[in-house]
Amino acid sequence: MDLATREANELLLKEKRPWRCRQYEARVQSIAECLQSLYEIVLALSDSRSRHKYNLEAERTNTHKNCQARRRPKSLDETKSIRDWLGYETEESKETNKDVKKRLLDIETSKGNKDGEIQNESRASHRPLRKWKQT
């Protein structure tokens, strides 16, 4: 209970005590009804205040969400442009890597052919010696 509700409740209880005499019964009845209606009004105002606070908080939350939603397309565009740029950069390096791999394969195959030729030549040159030593 907030302060206004508590004070209205205290006033209601405070004012009911002295008016309990029989001589003032009619007057007490009308005052009690007025105090009761005043108490109900205070309760209604308290509820209204609580709902208003809740609605303000909900509105702040919605405003924050809307601001974020407005920022998202810009952020999305920035993300797309960064992805495109990175794609361009990586595509270029992929092409470079492919070229380097092809060149290495060409070098290895050409080196392998030369080594093979050299080995064949060396084997051919040693064969007669082996044949000569064997005979």
Per-domain boundaries in the chain? 3-134
Least confident of 4-18, 24-38, 40-54, 115-129: 115-129
The position carrying tokens 């919605």 is 62
For residue 59, how far is the Cα from the chain centroid?
Answer: 21
Res 106 pLDDT > 80: yes
pTM comes to 0.37
Strands (E), the chain: none
Mean pLDDT, range 12-26, rounded to an integer = 67
Say what angle helices 25-134 and 3-16 make with each other, to 10 degrees. Answer: 160
